[in-house]
Amino acid sequence: MNQEQALQDNFDLKKYDRPLLFLPNEITLLIFSFLGQLDKVNAARVSRVWCDAIYSPSLWHEAMLYNVKGFKNNILNRLSQVEFLEARASGISDEEVRLLVIGPAGKTLKVLDLSVGPQLTNKCLIYIGYHCVNLEKLFLEGCNQITDIQPLEMLVDRLKTIVLSYNENLSNAVFWNLSSFGDRITKLDLDGCPQISDAGIEHLAAHLHGLRYLAIDGQGINDAPVISIFEHCTDLVLFSMSFCDLTDVFLDGLIRNLCPSLRYLRLRKGAAFTEIGFCRLFEHLTLRGHSFVSLDLSECTNVTNIALESLNQPQLRRLNLDWCWNVNDSNILEILKRSPKIEELFITGCNDVTCESLVGEKIASLKILNLFSCRMVERTIICGISKSNPSLYIVDYYGEVYKDGKKIGLMDQVFIKEEKVDSQERWGLLNVGSYLRFYRGNSV
């Protein structure tokens, strides 16, 4: 009898209820803990024993729920030790949030994402405020029935990140509720909240001095309140404002109160900024030796070639000039040379850009060149640039992506191959056409 036959005779495999034979359950769970969520779900299909092990609560400290119609009892049991829960667009109700947080998960949760929850109301915040005692980050993007965040004051000692973007019914009262947090709130996103006015922004500047990340909606907001943000919030790393109604008065205020820590600046749709205002800003940045990591001036139509001649940003990695119609070829190559670390350049809709100056140039750092809706860029030019830079992803007029001279798909379907994703980044892996790439490295 050979050794293999002896082992087969000595062990009846049916007697072993552990997923991996001969290993203690603790070791088995440790092995499974290295799997990502998708791999865990696939492994659970191997057998009932593996399924029981995989869905042990100790393996679900992080969870993302897809197409879930509420929290059933089996899900609540599996999430009893969850620390990071993303349940975006999951259709859960206030009652289901209550059932989750009154259990053990209420004490373990540190990050909770309930964004795009049309059924959620102010009640869910009461449950979260009373029970999620260790919560550090809360995401409620697009929960339009939420109007009162006062219950979050009970989390003042822990909560540092609050995302309330695209909640159209939020008003200035949000800042009165947040003022008790003082310097504790470091990241706040209120983009797409058009009811917030100058008074709310002034209150924010007066009380939330610890902010490092701030995104707001600029509709109806004037220069002075926004300048006061830079006067008082001196640790800002990222400032994002969409639908800017601001003028050169703000740009001059930014020059006077420029935070040394500010590395991400987004001023989308700033139509009232002038060419002279941008020239002064860019020249001042050069004199101060201040360089951004991400700069988004999309739809600022008075960003011109003359203004861009003053743009000298040696640390810049992402530049968004989408729909800046007065930009043409004369400065594109010079910008890339003055910003040797640039990885992503977005120039959507710049109709006078041809990119002929880039043919034959090797741009070592550039990963994405977005030329969507640039009608003057010929296919032969794109292929020429692509062949000289085989690792570069180029988006053409129609949104098709070229790499190494070949079409590889549409921009909303193509991801950078082997792109590393920091586990702390909110946005994770992004397609080559996503404007959210602006936030990479400093997301919520």
Model pLDDT for residues 323-372, shown as the tens digit of each residue: 999 998 888 999 999 999 999 999 999 999 999 999 999 998 999 999 99
The angle that helices 198-207 and 223-232 make with each other, rounded to 10 degrees, is 10
Q: Which of 38-52, 54-68, 322-336, 386-400 has the highest mean pLDDT?
A: 386-400
Written as one letter, the residue type at 212 is: R
In a domain, 286, yes or no: yes
Q: Is-contact 216 196, C-beta < 8 A?
A: yes
Residue 68 Cα distances to 40, 75, 85, 89, 304, angstroms: 17, 10, 13, 9, 48
In a domain, 349, yes or no: yes
Largest CA distance in the chain: 92
User: pLDDT band at 169, cuts 50/70/90?
Assistant: very high
In a domain, 376, yes or no: yes
Comparing 24-33, 81-90, 363-372, the range with the smallest average pLDDT is: 24-33
Domain that holds residue 285: 263-444
In a domain, 346, yes or no: yes
Beta strands at 393-395 and 400-403: parallel, antiparallel or unpaired:
antiparallel
- Tell me the per-residue pLDDT of 100-130, one tens digit each, with 9 for 90 and over: 999 999 999 999 999 999 999 999 999 999 9
Residues 197-224 have a mean pLDDT of: 96
Whether pLDDT at 212 is above 90: yes
Whether pLDDT at 139 is above 60: yes
User: pLDDT band at 24, cuts 50/70/90?
Assistant: confident
Q: Using the 3D structure, point to which of 39, 59, 79 is the last residue of a domain.
A: 59
Q: DSSP of 225-288, one letter per residue?
A: HHHHHHHH-TT-SEEEEES----HHHHHHHHHT--TT--EEEETT-TT--HHHHHHHHHHHHHH
In a domain, 281, yes or no: yes
Whether pLDDT at 246 is above 70: yes
Whether pLDDT at 13 is above 50: no
Q: Is-contact 67 94, C-beta < 8 A?
A: no
pLDDT, position 64: 86
In a domain, 296, yes or no: yes
Q: Using the 3D structure, point to which of 43, 59, 75 is the last residue of a domain.
A: 59
Residue 86, both tokens: 């993303």
Residue 289 backbone class (left: φ over 0; alpha: ψ -120 to 50; beta: rest): left
Higher pLDDT, 426 or 221: 221
pLDDT, position 148: 93
Helix (H) or strand (E) holding 86: strand 84-86
Residues 294-313 have a mean pLDDT of: 95
User: pLDDT band at 424, cuts 50/70/90?
Assistant: low
Whether pLDDT at 161 is above 80: yes
Q: Using the 3D structure, point to which of 23, 42, 59 is the last residue of a domain.
A: 59
* pTM to 2 decimal places: 0.90
Domain count, the chain: 2
Whether pLDDT at 8 is above 60: no
pLDDT, position 7: 46
Higher pLDDT, 428 or 316: 316
Task: Report the candidate in 350, 357, 345 with the shortest Cα–Cα distance to residue 327.
Answer: 350
Alpha-carbon distance of 377 to 353, in angstroms, equals: 7
Whether pLDDT at 257 is above 90: yes
Whether pLDDT at 22 is above 70: no
User: pLDDT band at 2, cuts 50/70/90?
Assistant: low
Alpha-carbon distance of 434 to 261, in angstroms, equals: 25
pLDDT, position 3: 53
In a domain, 317, yes or no: yes
pLDDT, position 425: 61
pLDDT, position 113: 95
Percent of the chain with pLDDT over 70: 92
Whether pLDDT at 146 is above 80: yes
Comparing 12-26, 222-236, 258-272, the range with the smallest average pLDDT is: 12-26
pLDDT, position 21: 56
pLDDT, position 417: 83
Whether pLDDT at 391 is above 50: yes
CATH of the domain at 25: 1.20.1280
pLDDT, position 11: 46
Alpha-carbon distance of 72 to 50, in angstroms, equals: 21
Q: How many residues does the chain have?
A: 444
Comparing 46-60, 125-139, 203-217, 318-332, the range with the smallest average pLDDT is: 46-60
Residue 192 Cα distances to 93, 121, 144, 196, 217, angstroms: 23, 18, 11, 10, 5
CATH of the domain at 379: 3.80.10
In a domain, 235, yes or no: no
Q: DSSP of 300-369, one letter per residue?
A: -TT--HHHHTT---TT--EEE-TT-TT-BGGGHHHHHHH-TT--EEE-TT-TB---GGGTT---TT--EE
Helix (H) or strand (E) holding 407: strand 406-410
Residues 396-400 have a mean pLDDT of: 97
Helix (H) or strand (E) holding 385: helix 379-388
pLDDT, position 423: 54
- The whole-chain average pLDDT of the chain stands at 90
Residues 181-197 have a mean pLDDT of: 94
Q: Is-contact 318 295, C-beta < 8 A?
A: yes
Q: Which of 40-44, 45-49, 221-225 has the highest mean pLDDT?
A: 221-225
